[in-house]
Structure 1
Amino acid sequence: MLNPFENIKIPPKTEDLIKIVLDRIPKIGGKNVKEREIKRILFYKEQLQKYRDFVLQFPRIDQLHPFYRENIEIIADIDKVKMCLGAINRGVQLSFNIIERYRRLIKSSDEKEANRLMRQCFGRVSSILRSRKDCIDWLIDITSQLKKLKAIDPNLPTIIIAGPPNVGKSTLVSKISSAKPEVASYPFTTKEIHVGHIDTGIVKIQVIDTPGILDRPMSERNSIELKAINAIKNLNGIILFLFDVSNSSIYSAKEQLDLYKEVKSIKSVVIPVLNKIDDKNEELYKQIKENILEKVFEISAEKNIGLDTLLNYVINLLQNGQILDKRDIYLNSG
């Protein structure tokens, strides 16, 4: 499944399109003056079609999968997007009507009037565009951002890697899937959703690396964190929540556990994974582990410790179509 915004052709911004027409008009000729001026305004119509196509190619917002719909909400006001799509479409139709009216006027007028009528038409159409400039240019910027979203198929079995920043999510994703996200030792290295895949021979599994989330109120979270929350909330799959239990962890047990509880309140299937077990801080490890009732996996993504056990467990759940209730992954489930 493609990113639904991927195939939208981005038109020039308002002033750029007007300049394209201005630069081209002097080079357009014809068999006579009338034909030349008609060809000039029809060239403007051709350029305006780029805005019509832009609107028609934009997916129906109300029919989008919730994951992609919320991606719009993270960066823009959906009502404003709808309003601007309508305003652009109406502006293009109004411009088409004006061009058609002037085409007829030029055709039926005295040849001496043809150039004046063409310039009049150009001015009126340009005024319509400029009156919608804020909408056109803003929506072009928003769509350019949406086109960069990774193609995620909400219908594929999915493993979502979640947790605070800098706990090893990207390292784990790169070790178990085809994705190769940037890995660095500072928070918020991952600013976008990254997607990899695992092909078991029976089923193709999507693996998603999400940006880190901090333990703080939703109202204080930035757009990077909201992208992770969106994936957790709206993609149907299993969450692997990573804890950092190492000596170098910058998060307390409480911060990590509070965030874990929040993620569990959003999604029913959340598997706790204690990462960096090769450099375990005994006190942090103990505080986290004794507060988790569910089955816990202990790994070192960097050192490849425990990855096979974790992956086999998760693949088995997904391969058998077991998107289960919380109680199915409790410690006493075996």
Structure 2
Amino acid sequence: MSGAASNLLQLWYIPSSKLFLRSSKLHKGLFLESGKEVSPSMCFCRKLQTTTYEVVKGSYVPIARTKPETAKEEKIPVKLETVGAFQRLPMVKPSVDILYSALRKAKKISPTKGIVNIAKREKNRGARQLDALMKELGIPLREYMENFPNKKYLHPYERSLIELTLGDGNYEEVLGRVNALKKKVVSVGKEHASLCAKSTTKREAEERLSEGMKKLEAIFKLEAKAVDDLLNIAKTLRAVPVVDLETPTLCLVGAPNVGKSSLVRILSTGKPEVCNYPFTTRGILMGHITVNYQRFQVTDTPGLLRRCDDDRNNLEKLTLAVLSHLPTAVLYVHDLTGECGTSPSNQYIIYKEVRERFSNHLWVDVVSKSDLFQKSPVHKITEDGDEETLEMARYRKAGPEGAILVSVKTEAGLDEVGNYTCFYMCNSLFKF
């Protein structure tokens, strides 16, 4: 064995009997007992080889290694709510009920048992009651904020319903006011509970308790309208019919007062209001048809007038939202008698616009009030004098090509309409 190797082994081997290490209670670290022999030592640290080499012209050359590409973290898409979010809204209590229930419960809070000193007991009672009042007012508000959905995560159909039913921005504005009230109640409640806990006398604790109670009550009453507005929003949205996206939907569309609601009453379980004035339908009305043990949806929608989208009212926009966001087949209803208040010429223009916009929908055309139309097809028609094209003349005579003539009074054509709709539904011809 060479001298270098022998020295290396001597340095490596250190007899354990020659070195004693002890912990000192007086000094930090380690010390050696006196009189003991210490040999030089060498510490080796073994590392794993992490470099790869290749032979280049008889020499080892390290290969530059690039860090493995880490898979990019995929952003988890936010899952949109399915329809039906409005039916899951929490029950909102009237503001007056929340306030007086909170006051009643807070005043029942007693001081912690075992406190003998009168001043300490009174300040403990005051702080506990103010804390209880703050929680009884703030917890319902917090629950409302947590359980009312964020509009941007809703299904596009229900998002449209919020905007068109409540007005653009009103939903967020009311929730913002409720949230601001919650923060103010918590802030003021903590402040006055802390002041009461720091009282030095019984009288001071009583005064601060009374002051804190009045302050919290005044703040809540001042902003209580936000809670009542949220209550009205919950009632309005909860009354919206639930639409199942997995169930095919037959949507009745047409000008106001052409007879859509009457057809819904006959074809389905829906019972919409039927009156002889425009915009009878003030929202989406839902009915159902059961065919071969399968259930299908039928919706009645507000009527459409001849005007551009910017001039449409919220009821008309609601109809367009249904057609845009729900998997629907369209049952378009025409009234060529002129009694509905919209001339056949204007109905034709509305029809062509809607048909082109929603060309991907399955389509059934129905001419209503056929009993009146067949008796006097011309003299009740009021036109604006524009030159009629061949297509317009054909439309005035019998509606669009292939339209079914129906009459609610004589029940003519109703079976045919029912057969058409059942055929579409049972053969799964809806385009989702």
Q: Shift of residue 251 of structure 1?
A: 2.5
Corresponding residue number in structure 1 for 2:157: 67
Residues 328 and 430 in structure 2, CA contact (< 8 A), matched pair in contact too: yes
Deviates more, 1:171-180 or 1:282-291: 282-291
Corresponding residue number in structure 2 for 1:39: 129
Higher RCO (C-alpha 8 Å, min separation 6): 1
Q: Structure 1 counterpart of 2:365, which letter?
A: P
- Matching residue within 284, 293, 304 for 2:411: 304
Distance 1:99 1:71, change over 3 A: same
Matches of residues 187-206 of structure 1 in structure 2 within 5 Å?
187-206=278-297
For 2:401 and 2:123, how far apart are their aligned partners in 1? 80
Residues 3 and 147 in structure 1, CA contact (< 8 A), matched pair in contact too: no
- Matching residue within 274, 289, 294 for 2:367: 274
For 1:304 and 1:43, how far apart are their aligned partners in 2? 64
Distance 1:211 1:78, change over 3 A: closer
Q: Shift of residue 89 of structure 1?
A: 2.7
For 1:72 and 1:92, how far apart are their aligned partners in 2? 23
Distance 1:103 1:324, change over 3 A: closer
Residues 366 and 404 in structure 2, CA contact (< 8 A), matched pair in contact too: yes
- Matching residue within 293, 302, 305 for 1:214: 305
Describe the SS at the equivalent of 1:5. Answer: helix
Residues 367 and 404 in structure 2, CA contact (< 8 A), matched pair in contact too: yes
Describe the SS at the equivalent of 1:88. Answer: helix
Superimposed CA distance per residue, residues 20-52 of structure 1 (whole angstroms, 9 cap, x where no aligned partner): 656x37953525534543235413421322211
Describe the SS at the equivalent of 2:132. Answer: helix
Deviates more, 1:121-130 or 1:86-95: 121-130
Residues 92 and 230 in structure 2, CA contact (< 8 A), matched pair in contact too: no
TM-score of the pair, normalised by structure 1? 0.81
For 1:119 and 1:261, how far apart are their aligned partners in 2? 70
Corresponding residue number in structure 2 for 1:232: 323
Q: Shift of residue 61 of structure 1?
A: 1.0
For 2:156 and 2:207, how far apart are their aligned partners in 1? 52
Q: Which runs of 5+ in 2 are unaligned?
A: 1-81, 112-120, 382-391
Identity of aligned residues (%): 28
Corresponding residue number in structure 1 for 2:253: 162
Matching of residue 142 in structure 1 with residue 233 in structure 2: yes
Residues 254 and 332 in structure 2, CA contact (< 8 A), matched pair in contact too: yes
Corresponding residue number in structure 2 for 1:5: 86
Task: Pick the structure with greater CA Rg.
Answer: 2
For 1:53 and 1:26, how far apart are their aligned partners in 2? 19
Q: Shift of residue 188 of structure 1?
A: 2.3
Q: Shift of residue 108 of structure 1?
A: 4.8
Corresponding residue number in structure 2 for 1:315: 422
Describe the SS at the equivalent of 1:144. Answer: helix
Residues 106 and 133 in structure 2, CA contact (< 8 A), matched pair in contact too: no
Distance 1:194 1:220, change over 3 A: same
Deviates more, 1:93-102 or 1:38-47: 93-102
Aligned residues between the structures: 323
Corresponding residue number in structure 1 for 2:139: 49
Q: Shift of residue 257 of structure 1?
A: 0.8
Distance 1:80 1:166, change over 3 A: closer
Residues 70 and 230 in structure 1, CA contact (< 8 A), matched pair in contact too: yes
Corresponding residue number in structure 2 for 1:115: 206
Q: Which runs of 5+ in 1 are unaligned?
A: 326-334
Describe the SS at the equivalent of 1:150. Answer: coil
Distance 1:33 1:248, change over 3 A: same
Q: Shift of residue 86 of structure 1?
A: 4.1
Q: Structure 2 counterpart of 1:208, which letter?
A: T
For 2:107 and 2:178, how far apart are their aligned partners in 1? 28
Corresponding residue number in structure 2 for 1:257: 348
Distance 1:93 1:250, change over 3 A: closer
For 2:93 and 2:334, how far apart are their aligned partners in 1? 45
For 1:75 and 1:158, how far apart are their aligned partners in 2? 21
For 2:105 and 2:340, how far apart are their aligned partners in 1? 64
Distance 1:247 1:145, change over 3 A: closer
More helix by proportion, 1 or 2? 1
Distance 1:214 1:120, change over 3 A: same
For 2:214 and 2:106, how far apart are their aligned partners in 1? 16
Q: Structure 2 counterpart of 1:176, which letter?
A: L
Describe the SS at the equivalent of 1:303. Answer: coil
Residues 95 and 125 in structure 1, CA contact (< 8 A), matched pair in contact too: yes
